[in-house]
Amino acid sequence: MDDMMVSTAVEEILRCPVCSLPISFQQGTWRCEQAHAFDMAKEGYVNLLRKKLPGDTREMLLARRAFFDKGYYQPLASLLNELLQAHLAPVQEGPVRLLDAGCGEGYYLGNLQAQLAQRFGQVYGLGIDISKDAIRMAAKRYPDTFFMVANLNEPLPLADQALAGMLNIFAPRNVAEYARVLAPGAPLLIIIPGPRHIQELRQSLHLLNIEENKQQHVVEQFSGSFTLLETRELSYELALQQAEIAQLVMMTPNYWHLSEEIRARMEALNSLSTTIDFICLVFQRL
Ligand SMILES: [Zn+2]
């Protein structure tokens, strides 16, 4: 598909981020009736932010892409595919519109869209991230997916009940908005780090700890508008060499806290075996 076709496929569910009116695509620009306008970038994404907000940097994103491209998080991608195949099926009518809220450089969404299309036919992936660098990288690699730079902590640029499903992977959570844009019965997959996630790496380098009781906190957050259908834990060991250790540190929020001491420890660490521990919470919109 070219950018024009992708835009047409998602046009009916997009809303102006300023006034919430419908927004349509004309001559390279998204425009609402009140003349709020947003240009489509040459890479095929739209920037809906009025001012630049801090997000993942290009250095973080390049580290993440290099790490993903080695397949280290492929087990999570497979689990997401399995869960969406199972939970989209009962509610799916017409085209599947799937949002990845906090999509980063697009790895999970781009791959899932292709896999889901084999079963469901028309699948339209939409990705939102606050980092323009992330969205630019995503749009270049996954031209069949529609990417937007937007803030998940503000009203989403989407119509009510627009989506058949949603992903939220190590990303901010906006309960009221996620409830608004999902169709009744639609699945919402939230991935958070489990308590043992990269624990050996955290201990070796003195990195940030995982928030305590995170899982319980998320379940409580979403309990008003969603039912928890199932909880899946995914845990495995990774044997990493120095380059991958650095990539794994750089792709996380630890990037913002890299002291001289941590850098020195990182350079001294030639190899390490560490635990990957994901928790996947499968919610359903009531
Ligand atoms: Zn508007």
pLDDT mean for each 10 residues of the chain (286 residues):
72 94 92 95 92 88 97 98 91 83 98 92 94 97 96 96 97 97 96 96 91 94 96 98 95 90 92 98 97
Q: How many residues does the chain have?
A: 286
Beta bridge partners of 133: none
Q: What is the pLDDT of residue 221?
A: 96
What confidence score (pLDDT) does residue 181 get? 98
Spatial CA neighbour of 275 closest among 250, 233, 238, 232: 238
In angstroms, what is the span from residue 35 Cα to ligand 1's centroid? 6
Q: Which residues line the annotated binding site for S-adenosyl-L-methionine?
A: 73, 105-106, 197
In single-letter form, the type of residue at position 132 comes to K
- How far does the centroid of ligand 1 lie from the alpha carbon of residue 225, in Å? 28
E strand or H helix that includes residue 118: helix 107-120
d(CA 254, CA 185): 36
Question: Which amino acids are annotated as binding site for Zn(2+), given as ranges?
Answer: 16, 19, 32, 36
Q: How far is the CA of 159 from the centre of ligand 1 (A)?
A: 13
8 Å CB contact between 38 and 124:
no
The DSSP secondary-structure symbol of 171 reads: S
Q: Per-residue pLDDT tens for 70-87?
A: 999 999 999 999 999 999
**Residue written as token pair 């003195």:** 206
Q: How far is the CA of 109 from the centre of ligand 1 (A)?
A: 28
User: Coil, strand or helix: which one is 141?
Assistant: helix
pLDDT at 121: 87
Which pLDDT score is estimated for 212?
86
Q: Return the residue matching tokens 């979403």.
A: 222
Which of 40, 286, 30 lies closest to 179 in space, CA to CA?
Answer: 286
Residue at 277: amino acid letter: D
Ligand 1 center to residue 19 CA distance, Å?
A: 4
**CA atoms 220, 223, 226, 228: torsion sign:** positive
Instruction: List domains and CATH numbers for the chain.
Output: 53-285 (3.40.50.150)
Q: Residue 100 Cα, ligand 1 centroid: separation in angstroms?
A: 23
DSSP letters spanning 56-112: --HHHHHHHHHHHHTTTTHHHHHHHHHHHHHHHTTT--SSEEEEEET-TTSHHHHHH
